[in-house]
Chain A
């Protein structure tokens, strides 16, 4: 009976006294996966909190390492929570990326439609010397918007989502301004032609 109790205590002590290296590795791998997914960029606050949690775990491990009777049970539980948190942060980053990607794609479609509309307006615009002078500058502006959208596409492919989003938004503003300008030129021309 005494022998059995002694063995049980020994097993218990040995099971609680071992550094949970596999769990630590799993947590670190999960954090790295979250970072690879862009968590440090797209959900920076959550990622910083995740890193903080892992740092706290590392400190707790070290605290236990310094003790005569080590007990990593609490550390193991925290590690499981960190691993889960890393998974959640990764998912959040993926979702955020997807959201931004969709926003860019929507902006690409909008700008493309505006560019088409602007090119149609250019085609409808007054021909001859009146039209040429009026539209030369606008045609150049449309070219700048188109070039900018080509860059957006490259950035999107390269996964540079935030710069692509900034650029796409700027391109949309410019395309809209051009649309208004073109409509005004045509309206002004028609108005004066009727007189």
Chain B
């Protein structure tokens, strides 16, 4: 009887052990390795700055990870036989997918932002060079100069942030620099374009001046935009000299005190040196000529200038130049050594043609960009 009971108990125990073994074998496995993978994926996305450049996808991955953790915790609070980690694993799949998407997107965006900024820096550098070369010397409104300077400094900030790989800030600074530099260049360009509307007549005058130098005659041609004085003889350029004008050189002279240099065809009327001039040496021209007087009277009748306005005079080529700025009252200033050369070249009666620019604006800007 006891043996029978023993066999019976042994069978039950064996059966129970088998049952327990089966149950334990079917207990759901905790999602430790999967969660570890999810965390690694999230970490990789973060290293790729996805939180900045692929915010949406990264936030979705982050939220999915939080949901997975929450779900894991919820399942852990249940009796171990009733746990179900399938929801956790679903969230892990979302984390892996979104983190990967965020990482790739961030890499792509970082690369494209970086490329855009690098290319933009080159473009803006060219625009700054054009401004410094041409527009800065022009009598531009203070607001344009200020915006240009602010733009230059913003571009410098862009470079510092970009150098530190803070692409997001670099991009922000770059946008501001782009706006400031382009707007100042555009405004300056509009002013210059308006002035260049007289280019056809300038070119005609310049050609006539060169023609006039045939038969060993001497002619002085002044290009205001280039700040150059060309000396022609026998239709050949014999010398090029740097010149400076009045601060309002961009535009024709209208009245006395406007600090503009006249545009037109003149001739030398007097040569001054020693005590005759305080500017080393000087060559007086016959401003105002008949055309200037007609224009002046027209402006007066149209009430563009005050009725008591004076047309001015005493426009000269003189020395004491080479200051790198336009500082005269409307005269053409040269370095003393250049003034010596001009003084030797010209005599009373030598024709002088002053034009806004010999070259068209398009070719000037194009040449600067190419350089």
Instruction: Using CB atoms and an 8 Å cutoff, list the residues of chain A in contact with chain B.
Output: 48, 52, 55-56, 58-59, 62-63, 65-66, 68, 126, 129-134, 136-137, 140-141, 143-145, 148, 162-163, 165-167, 169-171, 173-174, 184-185, 188-189, 191-193, 195
Contact = CB atoms under 8 A, between A and B. Distances in A.
Given A134-B325, A162-B164, A167-B153, 8 more contacts: A48-B43, A65-B77, A130-B327, A133-B327, A141-B145, A173-B153, A173-B156, A188-B323
Given A59-B36, A134-B323, A66 B157 contact: no
Contact of A66 (B46, B83, B280, B326): B83
A52 B322 contact: no
A170 B69 contact: no
Interface in B139-164: 142, 145-146, 149-150, 152-154, 156-157, 160-161, 164
A interface: dominant SS = helix
Contacts of B319: 195
Q: Which residue, of A52, A55, A174, has the highest number of chain B Cβ atoms within 10 A?
A: A55
B39 A59 contact: yes
A45 to B, nearest CB: 8
Q: Which residue, of B150, B153, B337, has the highest number of chain A Cβ atoms within 10 A?
A: B153
A140 B142 contact: yes
B328 interface: yes
Contact of B152 (A137, A174, A193): A174
Nearest to B143: A140
B80 interface: yes
Given A66-B83, A184-B324, A195 B156 contact: no
Contacts of A56: 36, 39
Contacts of A191: 322
B274 interface: no
Contact of A185 (B320, B324, B335, B337): B324
A170 B145 contact: no
Nearest to A170: B156
A144 B149 CA distance: 7
